[in-house]
Chains A and B, each alone.
Chain A
């Protein structure tokens, strides 16, 4: 049975009549597409410092973004005032940047059904603050019990429900979409100190899900313990060596390397203007033949999933690389015009304050045939990266960097001593061709991706992989 998203209990943020008026004002000067994106987001957070509630708060983000496209030109504006006067003024101001004759007059609005592929039964906003505090205190107690050298432990729970309405028109009948996004995130940061050394560790699992996922599915007790253990472990870690050598990267959050090294460069934001290292790569070998990769916004209840994208398109599972060959880009409506490609459900934005563009959702390298333990065993001397802090990329050159927050030396096929201060750098073209082992243990990890249309929740993912050689930066001298 399909469940349909019905935010605001069916209460519209603006009437269909007003939407038609605003769309027609937008289209008065020759625009061929107009869109109103209305948002009402309520978020809550509770933060504990060493087991006591330090701060909490609610916030409401509320407003509208209006966009007009005219062939390869785009104009966008936003306002937090949803009155008729304000919306019509904004539409008029935006339309004034074109000087053509009207080609579209909107006469009616049809509501498009939006199926809920991310069902939630126990809404996070309905959970009393006391219950969330109790949950966080349980996490704190577990972390604190790990070691006396933990000097600071922060536990936070952040959740939000974003209700949106989209009216879009490229003909006489405008389309209306309603959607609701609900996400929660548990954040634990632990700081360990000893003899003047200070180290920290962060874990932040998030999901497009209700409370029972956090309390019954997520191993929050294990995570709380791990967060404390890893911070303490880093106190005795040596500085990471530097140079070029083999690197094995863990599954799940390790996929941030694909996200940065390749994913951003396959977004139409970069490829449409030929500003990406992969702009002309469709049909070409860009990765080792053992690599296939997908971006899938339809995975039920995943952190980067959604029912529809920010333009109203249904989210999709898009294959980006098949057996090493580039087979697709992530395409939004506007950049699709330059590429002569259809939008494929990946247009995203942080809020009404941002114009939407092509972005990743849940992006991962598909599973291969190797067992993770075999990949380690077959590596004589190298680095095993068990966790990343994050990274960034220059899509034009494809050059990227990642910081490992947990890494170890591999010696004679075994994971040995931990190292800290480890950075991996390279170019996307090089690193994808350098993947020589792909494990069968694909997993996902949650992150926040910052790019042209703001900061959005994304999953990165992969099985355990090995790069036969990559530049590693650190202060530990040569790897021996």
Chain B
């Protein structure tokens, strides 16, 4: 299909400006169970999302059916969608940024690694996990997945953008059993350089993680000084940055309303968005075609900016921050490659002043346990007690409750122990003055 035919059809039917994005994905995934390949998946798929302006109104439509019916379906869909819009502002598409910071993040070597080598790696990991400790009772799964994505962006002003990327993910999940007590955990690696993966540390981390959980029990319900493991703090950071959406702020649905340029967190907190970081989450244009750039969101506790697309930026009289992202049928706000600045302290130094506290290593249920409007949250948690500056007995089946604004205001320290999550948030461990822990 020639993209120009889409623009010609759109113009002929009265769509004054149009945009079309095509995403082609090829993927492979496979998993082992009991030394046998029990699952092998491959796919090649495409999806298209198009939008346009009809008499000053914005409309959109999507399809995965790329035959001769696709362009008429998309154009008619745009017209129908624009026809019912009741937005009062005149909509317009973006002509293009002056400069784009394109980088090559595609690693062609990944696709050239023979499948047999990837399968052999899975066997190696599975055997390594079983052999790690006698208490390991089951390897639930070891899974390898890889994906190659080509994202293309075109608009009727002649703007053409393209990004090709690939990555692989290795996941291991294991159970350990002592008498009737069963524990499980997992580990994950994401990257696009197959040679950079080291099985031994991966296996050790998983094994240590699951074995450390034995004997876990609830502590007494109370308020405790709390250290959040980097990945746990990242989860909270994700919701905090989500509340920085200018759309949520403009619609009075965010706890960050009226907080721009105000101190909203401890001076120890600096959070940046760096979409141009050369990793698997790299992105150089957003869903309106605006050039993305690195920026501080919170610097030394002060909120420096909301995240904008063009529509919300216009309302506030500022420029888009390159954070446009499709949300259903409209272009909303999103983010990627978030970095939380740490310190030179080690983890041991971070927890050393805590006489009695908790170290939270995993949380569950945040998806439904966060009130994104107020910032209140409550979720299931596990971890360890901290006694006299050192990790002590394991904790299980406790709850962690708090308010995001309060948590970020109460950050007493961060360490040098960074980890990146699949949500593209990189954070160190964080020491919080106190949180509410529910247990016995």
- Which residues of A pack against B, CB within 8 Å? 40, 45-47, 49, 52-63, 72-81, 86, 90, 93-94, 97, 129-130, 133, 151-152, 191, 193, 197-200, 239-240, 242-244, 273-275, 277, 353, 355, 388-392, 394, 396-397, 399-403, 420-423, 425-427, 471-475, 478
Contacts and interface: CB of A to CB of B under 8 A. Distances in A.
Nearest to A274: B138
A401 B436 contact: no
B152 interface: no
Contacts of B65: 40, 60, 62, 80
B251 interface: yes
Interface stretch (B76-84, B104-112, B199-207, B339-347): B76-84
B314 to A, nearest CB: 16
Contact of A392 (B253, B330, B364): B364
Interface of B is mostly: strand
Contact of B378 (A57, A394, A423): A423
B198 interface: no
17 contacts: A54-B87, A54-B330, A56-B81, A58-B77, A58-B80, A72-B36, A73-B38, A80-B46, A90-B42, A151-B252, A200-B371, A396-B175, A421-B376, A422-B378, A471-B438, A473-B401, A473-B438
Nearest to B255: A198
A81 B401 contact: no
A401 B379 contact: yes
Interface string B398-430: 111111000000000000000000000000000
Contact of A402 (B44, B58, B88, B365): B365
A396 B182 contact: yes
A396 B41 contact: no
Contacts of B46: 80-81
Interface of B: 33, 36-47, 58-66, 73, 77, 80-81, 84-88, 138, 140, 175, 182-184, 218, 221, 251-255, 328-330, 364-365, 367-369, 371, 373-374, 376-380, 396-403, 436-440
B368 A57 contact: no
B169 to A, nearest CB: 16
B64 A273 contact: no
Interface of A is mostly: strand
A394 B33 contact: no
Contact of B253 (A47, A76, A152, A423): A152
A426 B397 contact: yes
Contact of B182 (A57, A58, A397, A475): A397
A242 B221 contact: yes
- The winner among A193, A244, A394, A475 for most chain B CB atoms within 10 A is A475
B129 to A, nearest CB: 14
Given A62-B65, A399-B380, A471-B438, A191 B252 contact: yes
Given A243-B440, A402-B365, A193 B377 contact: no
B88 to A, nearest CB: 8
